[in-house]
C-alpha cells in the first residue's frame, strides 16, 4: 500500500480528518530530518550542510534586520519553525494523493491564533498595562473610537494570516487536482513550477508577518 493511501487509511481508522494525519506525518518527517542533520554536522561541512547553514543564516540575518540582535535570539526559533513547517506542508501538494495541511483552514487558523497569542503576550510582558493603554489612542477623548478599531484590527490579523495561506494553497491544490484529472499522464511543467513558487512564497510571507507583528509589540515598549 502506498504511503499516501496508508495515511488516509489511518485517518479513516481513527475517524480523523485527512489533513490532521498528514500534519502529524509532516511533523514526523521534519523531526527525523532535524535529528539526521544534527548528528551529521561536520567541522568541515559538506555541500548539503553548506546549503542548510546558508539558508538558516540568511533567514536569521533577515529577521535580525527587523527585530534586532537581542529580540531575534528570543524569537527566531518560533519564526523559523513556522517557516519550515509551512514550507513542507505546502510543497507536499506536488505529490499525488497527498493532502497539504495548509489547504485546510483548521491548520492555518491554528497557526494564526498561535502567532496572535504569542505577540500579544510579548506586548503585555514588555509593557504591562501600558500595552493595553496604546489601544486607547493618543488622547483620552478618542478612546471610545480607538478601542474597537484597535481590537478589530488585531483580530483581523488572524483572518489575514489564515485566509491568505489557506486560500493560496487550497486554490493551488484544487488546480493540481483538476489538472491530474484532465491530463494525468502529463501535468504541464510551467504550472508545477508556478505552484511550487506560490508554495515557497507563502512559506516566506507567514513568518515575515509574524516577525513584523512581534516587532510591533516589542516596539511599543521602547516607545512608551
| Closest CA relative to residue 220, chosen from 147, 113, 118, 125 | 125
Q: 131 CB contacts (<8 Å, ≥6 apart)? A: 123, 124, 217, 220, 221
Q: How far is CA 210 from CA 100, 117, 205, in A?
A: 21, 11, 9
Task: Name the DSSP class of 102.
Answer: G
pLDDT reported for residue 1: 39
Q: State the average pLDDT over residues 161-188.
A: 74
Q: State the average pLDDT over residues 137-160.
A: 78
Q: How far is CA 205 from CA 19, 31, 32, 172, in A?
A: 22, 23, 25, 16
Higher pLDDT, 129 or 184: 129
* Long-range CB contacts (within 8 A, 24+) of 93-96: 93/169, 93/172, 93/173, 93/176, 93/195, 93/199, 94/176, 94/192, 94/195, 94/196, 94/199, 95/4, 96/4, 96/180
| First vs last C-alpha separation in the chain | 60
Higher pLDDT, 118 or 167: 118
| Closest CA relative to residue 172, chosen from 153, 212, 200 | 200
pLDDT digit string, tens, across residues 29-65: 999 988 887 777 777 767 777 777 888 888 999 999 9
Amino acid at each position: 500500500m502506498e504511503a499516501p493511501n496508508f495515511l488516509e487509511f489511518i485517518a479513516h481508522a481513527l475517524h480523523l480528518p485527512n489533513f490532521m494525519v498528514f500534519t502529524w506525518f509532516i511533523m514526523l518527517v521534519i523531526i527525523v530530518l532535524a535529528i539526521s542533520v544534527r548528528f551529521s554536522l561536520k567541522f568541515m561541512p559538506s555541500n548539503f550542510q553548506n546549503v542548510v547553514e546558508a539558508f538558516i543564516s540568511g533567514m536569521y540575518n533577515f529577521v535580525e534586520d527587523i527585530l534586532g540582535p537581542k529580540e531575534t535570539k528570543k524569537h527566531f526559533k518560533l519564526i523559523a519553525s513556522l517557516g519550515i513547517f509551512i514550507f513542507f506542508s505546502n510543497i507536499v501538494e506536488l505529490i499525488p494523493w497527498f493532502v497539504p495541511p495548509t489547504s485546510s483552514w483548521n491548520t492555518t487558523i491554528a497557526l494564526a491564533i498561535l502567532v496572535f497569542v504569542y505577540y500579544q503576550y510579548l506586548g503585555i510582558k514588555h509593557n504591562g498595562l501600558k500595552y493595553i493603554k496604546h489601544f486607547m489612542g493618543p488622547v483620552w477623548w478618542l478612546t471610545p473610537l480607538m478601542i474597537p478599531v484597535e481590537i478589530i484590527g488585531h483580530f483581523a490579523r488572524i483572518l489575514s494570516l489564515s485566509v491568505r495561506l489557506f486560500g493560496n494553497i487550497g486554490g493551488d491544490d484544487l488546480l493540481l487536482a483538476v489538472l491530474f484529472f484532465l491530463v494525468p499522464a502529463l501535468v504541464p511543467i510551467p504550472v508545477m513550477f508556478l505552484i511550487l513558487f506560490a508554495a515557497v512564497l507563502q512559506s516566506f510571507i507567514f513568518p515575515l508577518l509574524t516577525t513584523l507583528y512581534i516587532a510591533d509589540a516589542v516596539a511599543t515598549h521602547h516607545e512608551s
